Structure 1
Amino acid sequence: MTDVGYLTTHFRVVGALLVREMATRFGSKPGGYVWALLDPAAHILLMTVIFQAIARAPALGTSFALFFATGYIAFQFYQAMTGYLNAAVKANKALLSYPNVAPIDTIVARFVLQMGTTSLVAFIVLGTIVATMRVDTDIHWPSILEAVGLACLFGLGVAMVNCVLFLKYPLYEQVFSIVNRPLFLISGVFFLPDSIPAPYRDLVLINPLVHVIMGFRKGFYPEYRAIGLDMDYLYGIAFLTLFAGMLVFTLSRKTLRNE
């Protein structure tokens, strides 16, 4: 089979897996997609109500809803991606008995579906918040898209490593879950890293997700200086993690198919 033939087969398999994943995750009724929107909206609403009750103004801008939405949704481009892709191979194990279905196909299908889902949710939620604000918001799309792209690539790399390690070492899955859980609290969803005094700020800035959220927020707050934001560091971490994920995944193809 030629390279074009392999590529055509790959796209067909990914397309079929994508349809299967959509049916499995959301069902055949439109109501299944509503829950994908209600979950982040409920989290943002809850955070807005709580912090409005204990603070006079958000750490940035005038809208509590926009501040928390930009933090929460930016974080979800990583968190939802890894959470969904971690089990991509395990959930489609029966399909790997077919020679045309490769482990990477399951990853690509879930990556496309999750990125599309989170992007749609982000567009609806943030669009609704911005549309209901009394002041005009100057949105800088390059900063937003750059942060989203790097968050997704970082999540993809982490998930590819996890797909292999979860199969080989079941204990690692529990360890990863424990370590990954506090990230929501220390990645800048609720606060601005700029406001943390040194040397603690330097420790917080080691977390690449902090830079994702800072970069994402710059797209909504032109006045935000984002002190400490290092896009070169974020690019390096994202592509290094993606390379490691691809390397581990490629070297473990037989394990993924036969484990």
Structure 2
Amino acid sequence: MSTRFGAKPGGYLWAFLDPVSHIVFLSVIFMAIAHMPPLGTSFPLFFATGYIGFQFYQAMAGYLNSAVSGNKALLSYPSVAPIDTVAARYALQLVTTAIVAIVVLGYIVFTVRHPVSIHLPPILEAIAAASLIALGIGLANTVLFIMYPIYEKLYGIITRPLFLVSGVFFLPDSLPPIAKDVILFNPLAHIVMQFRTGFYPQYRAAGYDGFYVWCVAASLMFVGLVLFTSCRARLRDR
């Protein structure tokens, strides 16, 4: 935590500035063009549940991708294995995003006009699925980025639109059938939908498929672990 945030002005405060700035920006823009959010009556709550739910994947995946390459000095110690760097970053990012979620969402919930009924099980399940998908991708990317530098550039280009197609600022189930079917191929859209059900009891999340999400998470974890384990000696030598 000290290494990641200590060198920045404001330190750990930067972990909060990113989601807050995005939530404020989206709220201001959409309040200017719409009278009500797609769910509830609070624009900040709607966008916060979308953005923070998405961040449990996005921030985690981005931080894990460079777990080994960013900790080469640690790997000079025989007792430190490449998987240790991934585990440490996974724990740090999960705790950081959870703290940000509690503080930001807690503030919004306590300041909205109407009481918010929070249901924890779907929130926790969405967090678990998002972080495990990110972990599987991070394990694979740690190897692939080192072995194939061009893949890192392609990955950045391909995943850039994820924010736009994961249901952060809209409801996938409100789209026309063809668009809805395309969007729901993205497991992150399901995760954001489920995360929101924990804050909006009236939201039915039509089209949500938990089995599909966990199949994707299990498949990515399997592929990531196989790649990482088979290349662990090469990761230490690079």
- Equivalent residue for 1:118? 97
- Alignment equivalent of 1:74, drawn from 53, 68, 71: 53
1:31 aligned onto 2:16: no
- Alignment equivalent of 1:220, drawn from 183, 199, 209: 199
- Equivalent residue for 2:79? 100
User: What is the TM-score when the length of structure 1 is the normalising length?
Assistant: 0.90
Aligned equivalents of 2:94, 2:73: Cα separation in 1? 25
Aligned equivalents of 1:237, 1:168: Cα separation in 2? 24
Gaps of 5+ in 2: none
**Which of structure 1's runs of 4+ aligned residues deviate more than 4 A?**
none
RMSD in angstroms over aligned alpha carbons? 1.2
Aligned equivalents of 2:55, 2:79: Cα separation in 1? 32
Please state how far the C-alpha of 1:24 moved relative to its aligned partner: 1.2
- Equivalent residue for 2:134? 155
Aligned equivalents of 2:108, 2:218: Cα separation in 1? 32
Aligned equivalents of 2:160, 2:190: Cα separation in 1? 18
Greater Cα offset, 148-157 or 191-200? 191-200
- Equivalent residue for 1:185? 164
In structure 2, what residue type is equivalent to 1:86? N
User: What is the TM-score when the length of structure 2 is the normalising length?
Assistant: 0.98
- Equivalent residue for 2:152? 173
Please state how far the C-alpha of 1:30 moved relative to its aligned partner: 9.4
Note the alpha carbon deviations across 1:136-189, whole angstroms, 9 max, x for none.
111110010000010000000000000000000000000000011100001000
Instruction: Count the aligned residue pairs.
Output: 238
- Equivalent residue for 1:88? 67
Please state how far the C-alpha of 1:134 moved relative to its aligned partner: 1.3
Note the alpha carbon deviations across 1:224-253, whole angstroms, 9 max, x for none.
010000001101111111111111100011
- Alignment equivalent of 1:199, drawn from 153, 158, 178: 178
Aligned equivalents of 1:213, 1:57: Cα separation in 2? 20
Gaps of 5+ in 1: 1-21
Structure showing greater radius of gyration is 1
In structure 2, what residue type is equivalent to 1:103? P
- Alignment equivalent of 2:190, drawn from 211, 220, 232: 211
